[in-house]
Amino acid sequence: MKKLAFALAIGAAATAATVEAQTFPTSDPVIRKMWDEGMGQGSQAYRLAQTLMDSIGPRLNGSPGHHNAMDWVLKKYAEWGIPARKEQYGTWRSWRRGRTHVDLIAPRFRTLEGTMLAWSPGTKGAVEGPVVVLPDLPDSAAYDNWLKGMKGRFIATSFAEPTCRPDEKWEELARPLTVQRMRAERDSARRAFQQRMRKAGRGLNARLEAAGVAGILSSNWSAGWGVNKVFSTNNERTPALDLSCEDYGLVFRLAENNQGPRLRLDADAEFLGEKPIFNVVGEIKGSEKPDEYVVLSAHLDSWDSSSGATDNGTGTIMMMEAMRILKATYPNPKRSIVVGHWAGEEQGLVGSGAFATDHPEVVNGLQAAFNQDNGTWRIDYIRMQGYTQAGEHFGRWMSLIPNDITDNIRLDIPGVPETGGSDHMSFICRGAPGFRLQSHYPEYRQYTWHTNRDTFDKIVMDDLRNNATLAAMLAYAASEDPERVGREQRVMPPNSQGQPGRWPGCGNVRRATTN
């Protein structure tokens, strides 16, 4: 696979004139205006990000917070003179998160770090009960018999990590033999607990709920200091609770050693019914080729155990700010420039898939879609997604952009199309050129992706300004390009079984919670 690191050389000259000449390799006046607007005092990235992440907060699909965010995005576009609208594509179950307060009350007192999983029932007042670890029993029938005595108890259903210290710290500070022993013991204990879960049988949560347990405890540690991934539950009556790695381990060990742990849980939540769900779509109409489109793409929904800052508040602000820059510096684009703030990405690219289904004219007329959905660091990698002619276009587009922005970006030519990922896939699976503007992934995956620590403070504002300016410049260059991006696809490499590879297909679009 051919990989191209696209960088414009920066010399060592110290004079301001030389640096200026290197920073702006072209004399394109629109690019210059975009730089001043996006990277200078005109930037609104901080103010927008602080409002979205701190004041509006998390945006669980269909929740009141999500709807508040949609209304706020529409208001900002109206202020900037950019036509925008909400497009209903279906309905989704709406749920309001309230407080989660959980205390260890025996054998000693400690307020625990815990939160309900998304769409969990609440408690309707405080409830108390003992903690019981899922036991090691012979088979599903034995578990069903055990469940008859579990009413009013909190059941611990996850493996308890023996250490909540990240592996990289063990490797840095412990002796190699100590690291080896820790990993061997942990792996053995994890396999044993996984075997216990398999023997418990399918539908364990539903069976626990039917048995009348007080709550279901879990912990999904993200292998970093203080970080858990927090997802959702289908429970209808029984609260499902995530506890931090440390606190889950505490109550697990107390129960396992017969030291009588009891919890008090006060969890407030409200199911609001199946409600209309929307994408927010804005557009600056093309002056010469209005039926050809450049799409800026990011999902507005998030998980809600924290603020949804880097997944995908930063992508949202990046595309909002890019549209503001475009309106201020390039108000009459050649091609139409559309921005999509999608709903339901976390439930399977639902909103973008519905948009692509409902707007074949955009898919058929697509010049390029630029999607961003990971983290806060500078964009450093763009895959051509298997489109054999895309690299030529990106080469021209990026030659217009200051090397302060492009010097760390690697283009993967021709690349291969992803098979999952994010909302650019809703275009790729239909054979239209969609591209991911990707930031550094490993740190994002460990510390902020779907975690309880995805908060405003994780944003690197210089990089957010950089990325928003890049998106505006790419949209401008793609709009002005005299040629359409070709849709010719590479010959796909064999899959892991040695069979001929296939271009990814589109799944069915979910238009409601239950379908």
Q: Position of tokens 């948009």?
A: 355
- Token pair in block for residue 400: 């217009």
Tens digit of pLDDT for each residue in 290-343? 999 999 999 999 999 999 999 999 999 999 999 999 999 999 999 999 999 999
Q: Residue 378 contacts by C-beta under 8 Å, 6 or more apart in sequence? A: 408, 439, 463, 466, 467
Round to whole Å and give the CA distance between 428 and 253: 48
Q: Which two tokens stand for residue 387?
A: 């489109």
The whole-model pTM stands at 0.93
Look at residue 81 in the predicted model and tell me its pLDDT.
98
Mean pLDDT of 339-368: 98
Give the per-residue pLDDT at 25: 56
> Is-contact 116 100, C-beta < 8 A?
yes
Topology given in CATH for the domain delimited by 26-83+285-480? Aminopeptidase (3.40.630)
Q: Over the range 290-306, which residues count as b (16 or more CB within 10 Å of their CB) and which as e?
A: eebbbbbbbbbbbbbbb
Q: Which two tokens stand for residue 349?
A: 């690219």
Q: What is the pLDDT of residues 43-96, one digit of tens each?
A: 999 999 999 999 999 999 999 999 999 999 999 999 999 999 999 999 999 999
Least confident of 6-10, 44-48, 354-358: 6-10
Cα angle 112, 117, 122; round to 5: 80
DSSP letter at 343? Answer: S
What backbone torsions phi and psi does residue 128 show, to the nearest 5 degrees?
A: -125, 150
Give the model confidence (pLDDT) of 436-459 as tens digits: 999 998 899 999 999 999 999 999
Question: 97-270 — its CATH code?
Answer: 3.50.30.30
- Which distant-in-sequence residues (6+ apart) come within 8 Å of 369 by Cβ? 294, 295, 296, 297, 424, 427, 432, 433, 434, 435
Q: Are 122 and 235 in contact (CB under 8 A)?
A: no
Using CB atoms within 10 A of its CB, is residue 124 exposed (0-12), middle (13-18) or buried (19+)? exposed
Cα–Cα dist 157/137, whole Å: 14
- Residues 155-209: pLDDT tens digits? 999 999 999 999 999 999 999 999 999 999 999 999 999 999 999 999 999 999 9
Is 300 in contact with 341 (CB distance < 8 Å)? yes
Q: How far apart are CA 502 and CA 514, in angstroms?
A: 29
Residue 419 binned pLDDT confidence (cut-offs 50, 70, 90): confident
Q: How far apart are the C-alpha atoms of 54 and 49, rounded to whole Å?
A: 8
Is-contact 30 330, C-beta < 8 A?
yes
Can you list the positions of beta strands (E) in 397-467? 409-412, 434-436
Cα separation, 382 vs 370, whole angstroms: 10
pLDDT score of 441: 87
Q: What are the residue ranges spanned by the domains of the chain?
A: 26-83+285-480, 97-270
d(CA 375, CA 448): 8
User: For residue 26, what pLDDT is reported?
Assistant: 64
- The answer to whether 490 touches 386, Cβ cutoff 8 Å, is yes
Q: Mean pLDDT over all residues of the chain?
A: 94
d(CA 24, CA 325): 18
SS3 content of the chain, % helix, strand, coil (to 5): 35, 25, 40
Are the beta carbons of 356 and 430 closer than 8 angstroms? yes
Task: In whole angstroms, give the CA distance from residue 457 to residue 128.
Answer: 35
Which residues, in sequence order, are bridge partners of residue 371?
297, 436
Per residue in 394-416, pLDDT tens? Answer: 999 999 999 999 999 999 999 99
- Alpha carbon distances (Å) from 398 to 33, 126, 484: 16, 58, 16
3-state secondary structure of 444: helix
Closest CA to 423 of 290, 275, 315, 503: 315
Q: What DSSP character marks residue 495? A: -
For residue 266, the surrounding DSSP H or E stretch is: strand 262-284
